[in-house]
């Protein structure tokens, strides 16, 4: 059984992107842990949590939604 907890900054991903993330993580877990058995997907739980803008720190600096979007663009 796999439990994957993903945290993203609020406003960086829209609902369809979060769904794609959940599907992609599930596919990867099925391939690796489930040895390719698609039935294993029922044992894979993926939770996407959103962290308020500025409440995630990288190298001692708070990261805002805009900071993350700028990093994505580069």
Tell me: the pLDDT tens digits for 9-33? 999 999 999 999 999 999 999 999 9
The confidence score (pLDDT) of residue 29 equals 98
Percent of the chain past pLDDT 70, that is, above it, reads 100
For residues 40-45, average pLDDT? 97
How deeply is 35 buried, as exposed, middle or buried, from its count of CB atoms within 10 A (0-12, 13-18, 19+)? exposed
Q: What is the CATH number of the domain that holds 19?
A: 3.30.429.10
Indicate the number of domains in the chain. 1
What's the pLDDT score for residue 19? Answer: 98
pLDDT of residue 35: 97
The boundaries of the domain holding residue 50 are 2-73
Residue 7: the pLDDT is 96
């Amino acid at each position: 059984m796999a439990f994957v907890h993903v945290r993203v900054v609020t406003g960086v991903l829209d609902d369809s992107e979060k769904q794609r993330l959940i599907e992609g993580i599930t596919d990867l877990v099925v391939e690796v842990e489930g040895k390719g058995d698609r039935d294993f997907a029922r044992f894979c739980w993926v939770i996407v949590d959103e962290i308020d803008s500025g409440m995630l720190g990288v190298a001692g600096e708070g990261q805002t939604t805009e900071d993350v979007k700028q990093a994505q663009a580069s």
